[in-house]
Structure 1
Amino acid sequence: MDPRTSAQDVMRCDLCETAVVQMHCDTCLVNLCKACLGEHFSADLSKPHKIVDFKDRKSTPLYPACTTHIKERCKMFCKKCGIPVCISCLESNQHLGHELSKFLRVLDEKKDMILKERNELIDTIYPTYQDIASDVQNRMSQLEKEYGDLSTAITKHGEDWHREIDKLVKKLKAEVDKMKMKQLEALQKHLDEINKNISEIKNEIDSIDVAVDANDISRLFSVKPGMNKHKDLPEKFVASLPIFTPGKIQEELSNLFGALSSSSLTSDKHGYSMKTTQKSPEAGSSPPVKQLLDEPETVTTIDTGYGELYNVACLSEEIWTRGNGSTMKLFSINQGSLLKSITTKSGYEPFDIAVTKSGDLVYTDYYDRTVNIVNNEKIEVIRLQNFWVPKGVCSTSSGDFMVIMNYEHQSRIIRYSGSTEKQNFQTTASYFEYITENKNLDICVSDCKRKAVFVMNQTWKLRFRYTGHNPAPKIQPFSPLGITTDSQSHILTADINNDCVHIIDQDGQFLCYINCGLSYPWGLCTDTNDNLFVAQGGNKQVKKIKYLK
């Protein structure tokens, strides 16, 4: 191994390559031993060689060479011209009256700027791109799985068709065999009668031959030919076969079997947001900090007239409600009066409702497997593919809305912009019910079957799971349904088993219960003033509650 390059060896002089390095020329960036100093100086007398101890190497600033005066180094910087200048440049009066600065000061300012950019790259941009890459990778994995599920569904459908076709082929062949046997039996009976006649004719012929050969007049006169009765020939049976008319496979089969909708891959310029480790510039406009009231207060109660009440969604000074039946009702919050009603397009009972930032009502139709957008009473329908059924729906701060979809033991969350799908997330072994978006853009969902609230960040990574707090008001298992958030990033969820609402902070820490005489609380929403609206299944009333100071 070369001792000069071995990791176990000491640094050697760049000139003699044998002696241990002791000095360093900061001008030429060369490592030297003391014996080689003279040789290094004499090699280039045009330079002012700056020799320092090896441990202090690169401590001397390396000023840039002047482009005009080749042998000069620039120790000043002309701010007006934006270029480094040397002493000779200054003496030539080329920069007379210009603002000058020491190059080291300019260098420090440049270093500060570069270091700030470096810190931003390290703290913000690099981790953001890592998260985006992880998000894209997750989407690709999810896409692989979903396309696999789609192929499996098509294969299964094909197997079902094969079974039905086999049954149909078996049935048609059985009918063919039955028709064949019926016709063959009839023809066999006809053949038996013909053979009988043939036998009789042969017997008559034999009888005549015997009489003629005997030359016996008495026997001849005793012969009575039956030729006339055989002149009437038997009927001719002609079998008419059934005709098999096959369907036009190329034209009809694909329509009968099923079809694929077109796929799409859209981009959203504002789909990602920069990850930060400090407060954003908008922090100054953040809502003021509000404290929880020691005792929440019931402000008003609205009778809805439903047989069963499930959900509520806020719209300025009004609230939309939904209960049993196909009608959704809009009430005035202040007067409690019914303003208007809308019936679902399918006539089925909706599962959940939400109001977008633009004021559109969105409802999910579990039985019809559709998501519906109501704008001025005109309903735009999004029909779901395969076997997915929609559940909870919520509006988002960006003006989009998100929908939970379930199939067997899987849940999917899809973000829509209007009727266009923007983003989706799918998980197994879950059965999400209701959904909301927090102010920090976390996605919060309730899972009544697993008795938990799940909170995920924007890239769908699980942040935490909340499973209730003990002791609960009625000491019953936690059973979360409706879920909402407020301006303080609190997460509120209805606990139907304990007739209360849980309030937790954005990191999953329990804060308090809201009781207020609630009866079977189901759906929740908050308005812009952080008032809580609770849809109560027990008394079919919406209760408005003040819980923040």
Structure 2
Amino acid sequence: MSEPSDEQAAMQHYLVCGTEDCQKNGQFYCNACHRPLCEHCRDEHVKIPDTKFHEIVLYRHRKQQLPVEKCKLHPTRNVDIFCKECKIPLCSKCSTMEEHHGHTFDDLEDIYAEKYVLWQGEFSKIQKYFLPTTQRLKTDIEEDATQIRKIMESLRTSMKAEVKSLKHLVDEVTSENLEHIYTMENSLLEMLKSQETTYDDYIAYLGKMSDEFQQYLSLTNQKLLFSETLKIKTIPETTKPILPVFTGGKVSKDDISKLLGRVNVPNKEPEKREIQPMEAVNTHMKSTEKQLEQSKEKSDMKQTLCLSSSVTKVREYSVPGVFSAYHESADKSGRLWVSDRGGNLVQTDLQGNQLQKIQTSGGEEGYHTATQDGDLIYTDKDKRVIYRITPDKKITEFIKTGDWTPLSVHFSRINEGILVGMIKDGKAKITRYSKAGKEIQNIQIDKQGQELYSTPHHITENTNGNICTSDHGKQAVVVVNKSGQHRFFYTGQGSVFSPYGICTDVLGHILMCNRISNTIHLLDQDGGFLTIIRSSQQSIKCPRGVCVDDENNLYVGQRDTNTVTVYKYLQ
């Protein structure tokens, strides 16, 4: 297939058909030829006698291609079959050798695809059953610990009420009983702490297994799919604590101990924590996946939204009150927030009319984000505070970040949480907050203990839950999954790469500005490069900020001008 011209490269931003000289969208895939096909080339493919029986599927349903491995006996041949008797992979020429005479063979690519799916299934079990179930059990322990504390405090209150009128008679006994309660409480909490440690160790084990499964799924380790045995240790069992009860005593000077009573643990077997069987989880998962697939099929039938073959300018307008457009946030009301490097933050309507303006400590970072409720959330680097602006223009303090300086912020459309990129003393992290502002997750290092971030200037979240960060210091886009596990780095296409504004769209594409080449890069959700949008005819010059609204319009802000240009790039 010939290389596309600069003009073609500037306009195409989709997976290109694998047919020579065809530049259309390769939305289908031939599993036999292992290449994408557009709709027209797919129809032609099945008309050719040599390829009419090839299996053609949607690109997302494609079969994994067998990794290339040269035969040791025949270096010009690839290993592509499997001898069932000898249980070894071979090339086609090996199958004609005398030692394999009369043996039966399987297609190694079919076996590889089957094993790939099998290992993906095991990895999915960790993500969808073992980790969530274990984390739920750990949460159960934390709730029990909270309940223990509440009950113990209630017991103390009851005892103090009993002895108030007779305190001069029962001080000594009260002191002994209170000490007994504290000792019992510590013992129970130590037991629960031990159970937490058990599940911490098991979670660490699952993390290690997850890493191993991912290694097995990689193309370079495909041999391990045939040599390793799938086995995941069962979840450790723990027991719930038996809660103490208070037995009141009789009011008598001679029987102080009976009067005050004692705290005892009921003599019964501890109740085992419930571990939901994997079968029940799988049934729910399959039901959910089926519903999602049916929903997706209906959505696909209703509208076939895909990348357009060209980028069309919808409109452009100047934003009063800013000197440049370094970051944009579109809200559901059809209004837009734009900021420049001088800390000016302005809200406009779609005609560019200024609705409100505030002065912030922000600069070139993506320091503001619109919520589904019509609020705007923005960071204050100097005060280390995150503020919220409501539609009635009321500004309130939302989150304090302590000694960490907040740079970038993003509102999650998936769980309505808040993602914040922060720095402190040469370190950087991404912190997830709940909708109410409670800190619930910190992402800072990878599995090898290496720092993931340096300067997280812009941040966004993809449709699959991946957190995508534009990091100036790393000169890369850093992508982790929703659990904070590193997925990939994107460092451009050979030239110097310095990412700025970043966003995602409804199809899971990742779009980001490159400050050095003044271009917009377009990736798929797994980091696969699709194209660069860089047509001067489209007036895309010095892009710094990008965002996509609910109508799938792409907003592009530029350096040294307050003009925001809106493009249609999906159809």
- With normalisation by structure 1, the TM-score equals 0.48
Decide which structure has the larger Cα Rg and report it.
1
